[in-house]
Amino acid sequence: MGIRNKRPDLNGVLHIDKPLGWSSAKVCNLVRRLSGGAKVGHAGTLDPLATGVLVVCLGKATKRIPSFMDDTKAYRAEVDLSAFSTTDDAEGERTVVGVDHPVALETIQRVLGERFIGVVQQAPPRYSAVKIDGKRAYKMARAGEEFQTRTKLVRVDSVEIEAYDWPSLTLTIESGKGTYIRSIARDLGVALGTGGMLTGLVRTRVGAFDIRDAKSVEELPRDASSWTPELLLP
């Protein structure tokens, strides 16, 4: 049985800048509590170590979640080319990879263009919510089980180098539904013969929702009576 919607008057979208360290579910729980029990869902998970645009839908707008999830997303990704990690980001155990010399910027640009743009095969991180024979991969990984995540086709529209100072690489990425930016960091390291792990991620856009217009969680009204239909985007 689903949670009863105590605020049927609230139907629309909140455009939130998710804080570092928060899960997407925690943001939804806060919105549900502050609003006095509205029906709430989000359009695309951000990991706790990522920040940026989280589209939160209330009431009848939750039916629009699949269409929002299909929208193009944009990211700013910080990548460490000196190491891999068990989670493909800074949360996991780090393994340093020795290289004879830093990789040239031109080499990184070439490899990105040849292997990481278009419709590409990608294996989700082992610590992810994908299901393997009915089980969540991250639960299997935490239990020490042996498994491989299945590759899938994802769409990457563009990958641009914003900054590079070995071993730190900053990328701006536009991609379609289901693309793991952690996997791009990992696979780039494999392709370059270096390490590759995500150290920071900001989702800067989901469709028409841009981070410059997003609300922080501190800006949300703390009084449920202040939650009116006018607070939400249509």
Q: pTM (2 decimals)? A: 0.93
Q: Between β-strands 50-58 and 197-206, what pairing exists: parallel, antiparallel or unpaired? A: parallel
Walking along the chain (234 residues) 10 residues at a time, the average pLDDT comes out as 85 97 97 98 94 98 97 98 96 95 97 97 90 86 87 97 98 97 98 98 98 97 97 95
**Under DSSP, is residue 18 helix (H, G, I), strand (E, B) or coil?**
strand
**C-alpha–C-alpha distance, residues 99 and 193, integer Å:** 8
Exposed/middle/buried for residue 101 (C-beta within 10 Å: 0-12, 13-18, 19+): exposed
Verify whether residue 47 is a known catalytic residue: yes
- CB-based contacts of 170: which residues, under 8 Å, 6+ apart? 76, 77, 78, 79, 161, 162, 163, 164
Q: Output the pLDDT for position 2.
A: 61
pLDDT of residue 137: 85
Taken in order of first residue, the domains within the chain and their CATH numbers are 12-70+208-231 (3.30.2350.10), 73-206 (3.30.2350.10)
Q: Please tell me the distance from the alpha carbon of residue 182 to that of residue 125, in angstroms, as a whole number.
A: 7
- What residues contact 92, with CB distance under 8 A and at least 6 apart? 85, 86, 127, 197
DSSP letter at 43? S
DSSP 3-state assignment of 193?
coil
Among candidates 224, 122, 94, 114, which has minimal Cα distance to 179?
122
Q: String of b and e for 197-211 (b: at least 16 CB within 10 Å)?
A: bbbbbbbbbbbebeb
Q: Choose, from 47, 88, 89, 187, the residue flagged as catalytic.
A: 47
